Structure 1
Amino acid sequence: MKRIVIAGVAALAALVTAAPAQADPDTDFTNQLHVYGIYGQKDYNAWIGKIMCKRLNRGVDADAFASAKFVSDQLNKGSTTEQSWQFLGAAINFYCPDKTYVLAQAAERH
């Protein structure tokens, strides 16, 4: 589990430094998910990412582990734990970059 969290943090760091500003963040988010082998409807995945951020903002999910569980429950059956964490990192990068600290906290816990 620690490797997955660390991989998510590393992926987020790469995204933060490499993500160019674009007019449509939902398309950019979808393209990033495809790198991780996560597919599905663009609008649905963007909605999951935005709802995940709202859950973090409102305290519904207390930490990254709870958010990763929420994401996992929404992704296609057969999606891996690693993909849930990759989705989480990408969603934070695109939709709530002020929440990047939750990934760092998760890495410290494990």
Structure 2
Amino acid sequence: MRRALIGAATVAMGLTFAAPAAGLIFAAPAAADPDTAFTNELNTYGIYGQKDYNAWIGKITCKRIATGVDADAFEAAEFVHNQLQRGSTTEQAWKFLAAGLRTYCPDKLPILDQAR
């Protein structure tokens, strides 16, 4: 068994060093999952919850803005606030909204400037 593991490691190392010389190119690792990055950002604001649920809120918020269901950032922030856990603050809802727009629909970010 040990010989097999050493043999596999030797082959892997050989491929690593021989690949560039042989003209082989390996694919770069895939970009980070935007839902995970979004969740990590939300956690810095004290917003927790299921990753998929929070990503859904972010994505559906973008759709609501795009289709006119929410006419401005105030309505979008209210929608977000109503979806967050009880006890979430208005500030957290606005941070969530900004993070969601940056992550899922950066073309909609100007609505935050309009809200100022």
Fold shared by both chains (TM-score > 0.5): yes
> Does residue 67 of structure 1 match 2:76?
yes
> Which is greater in Rg?
2
Q: Alignment partner for residue 38 of structure 2, among 25, 29, 38?
A: 29
- Superposition RMSD on alpha carbons, in Å? 1.1
Identity %: 67
Mapped partners of 2:111, 2:98: distance in 1: 10
State the structure with bigger RCO (CA 8 A, min sep 6), 1 or 2.
Answer: 1
* Match in the other structure for 1:51: 60
Runs of 4+ in 1 over 2 A off after TM superposition: none
- The one of 77, 98, 103 equivalent to 2:112 is 103
Q: Normalising by the residue count of structure 2, what TM-score does the alignment of the two structures yield?
A: 0.73
80, 87, 93: which one aligns with 2:102: 93
- Give unpaired runs (5+ residues) of structure 1: 1-20
Matched residue count: 87
For the Cα contact (< 8 Å) 1:22–1:28, is it kept in 2? Answer: no
Give a deviation string over 1:39-80, Cα, whole Å, max 9, x none: 000000000000000000000000000000000000000000
Give the Cα separation in 1 of the matches to 2:105 and 2:35: 13
Deviation at 1:23, TM superposition (A): 2.7
Q: 2:8 maps to which residue? A: none
